[in-house]
Amino acid sequence: MITIHAALTTDAIELALEYNIDIIFLKNTGQPMGRVWHSKLGSISTIRRKQLFLQDSPLGLQLVKEWILEKMDNQIRLLKKLEVNRRDDEKRAIIRDTIEKIEKQKANIMSINNKETVNNVRNMLLGYEGTAGRVYFETLGKLIPEKYAFEARSRNPAKDPFNCMLNYSYGILYSSVEKACIIAGLDPYIGIMHTDNYNKKALVYDYG
């Protein structure tokens, strides 16, 4: 990996290519800008085909279910921590109700037949994940200090300071995930649950 203000000779590049070593150029934030690899794609094209295969394979569904369930478990863990620190019975009740709603979406995810494929149940997966995310953020908006309170997630543009912070944090997360995908040899533009649209890093959104 090469960051800005670094120099690399053509001899060094040639040596890396000779041994099929990718060279990845990063911004000072760690976000990938580009890469140099051998003209014979070899394993790169094979990996891309396998990524596409996962969209129409039970294995792909298994991976996506695990990712979504882990995300929901993290939401529940944070809510439980917030509940411990709350003395207001009304807010504690709101947290418990939200946890129940997220648990229901977890049950919906787990009930999907493991022999199915992501292509066949994509809308269901996105719906369950979206419902859990909506009630989770609605609850967070009621728990934080009043001057930072918000009603729902807003992205482009963010409508309040808390969503500004979330968008900034997600940007950092997505950059880290993209870098990890590229280093691992995965194509960040070929997702499993999120569809492949032009210039959309679908796999990054799958992991994020």
Kindly report the CATH number assigned to the domain that includes residue 141.
Answer: 1.20.120.920
Q: What is the pLDDT of residues 82-91, one digit of tens each?
A: 999 888 899 9
Are 9 and 74 in a shared domain? no
Give 73's contacts (C-beta < 8 A, 6+ positions apart): 106
Are 103 and 32 in a shared domain? no
Q: What is the pLDDT of residues 160-200, one digit of tens each?
A: 888 898 888 888 888 888 888 887 888 888 999 998 665 68
Are 181 and 145 in a shared domain? yes
In a domain, 151, yes or no: yes
Nearest to 135 by CA among 88, 76, 70, 201: 76
Number of compact structural domains in the chain: 2
Are 135 and 169 in a shared domain? yes
Are 118 and 145 in a shared domain? yes
Helix (H) or strand (E) holding 25: strand 23-26
Banded model confidence at residue 115, pLDDT cuts 50, 70, 90: very high
The tally of CA atoms less than 13 A away on the side-chain side of residue 44 is 15
Are 190 and 92 in a shared domain? yes
| Global pTM value | 0.78
Are 194 and 96 in a shared domain? yes
Domain that holds residue 24: 2-40
